[in-house]
Amino acid sequence: MRRRRNTSMPAESHIAVAIPPMGWRKSSHSGAGDENGGSNCLEFTDSLPDIVRVRDSKDTHGPVLSLPALAWAAFTATLR
């Protein structure tokens, strides 16, 4: 079965979303790193309503994971 390409939107279109400045935070328990000098730290921000964004602190321009705030709260509660 062949699928038709959706021609209603040009392939080059982009959706612009206004995102407020992020206040990234890192855990105070993140540690100094492993024997190779690496660090396994996450940074997070809750500057968007009902959404928590998480990223690798070593790759601040890399991908960001967005989670519902309730899911983040449940996750962090299991770590305590």
pLDDT tops 80 at residue 41: yes
pLDDT tops 60 at residue 66: yes
Rounded distance, CA 60 to CA 68, Å?
A: 21
The predicted pLDDT at position 61 comes to 86
Rounded distance, CA 48 to CA 18, Å?
A: 11
Dig out the tokens for 38 from the structure: 């690496």
Rounded distance, CA 71 to CA 50, Å?
A: 10
The model's pTM is 0.60
> Residue 78 — φ and ψ, nearest 5°?
-75, -15
Whether 67 contacts 54, CB under 8 Å:
yes
